[in-house]
Amino acid sequence: LTIIPEDVEYRKMMTNVTRYRLKTVMDNESVEKIEDLNDGFQVEEMIEHAKDDLNVIPIYFKYRLWETAEYDEFELEDEMQKAFGAQTRVFG
């Protein structure tokens, strides 16, 4: 996340989510309690979400999505499909 400027909402949101999830894990030994505190997401799902987030960050940075809405939709969709699989659709 540090490659994205500090004032960008995406970075702020992801930082807060990551800190919250880490705190729930550090403060609780019970998997059930951790899942309850994270809207019922299973720990395995949270791990997969974190991995997905790590794949999105370089794409978000490459296209500087916080600066403009002007980017090549096809190129961006191709990048997302490489990161998340052929079934991924970003646009319509």
pLDDT tens-place string over residues 52-80: 999 889 988 988 888 866 666 667 777 77
Query: Residue 53 half-sphere exposure, CB side, CA atoms within 13 Å?
Result: 14
- Residues 6+ positions from 76 with CB-CB distance below 8 Å: 59, 63, 90
Question: Considering the chain, what percentage of its residues have pLDDT values greater than 90?
Answer: 57
Residue 86, token pair as written in the block? 């052929």
Supply the DSSP string of 2-32, one letter for each residue.
Answer: TTS-TT-HHHHHHHHHHHHHHHHHHH---HH
Question: Worst-scoring range by mean pLDDT, 41-50, 60-69, 82-91?
Answer: 82-91
CA distance 72 to 39: 35
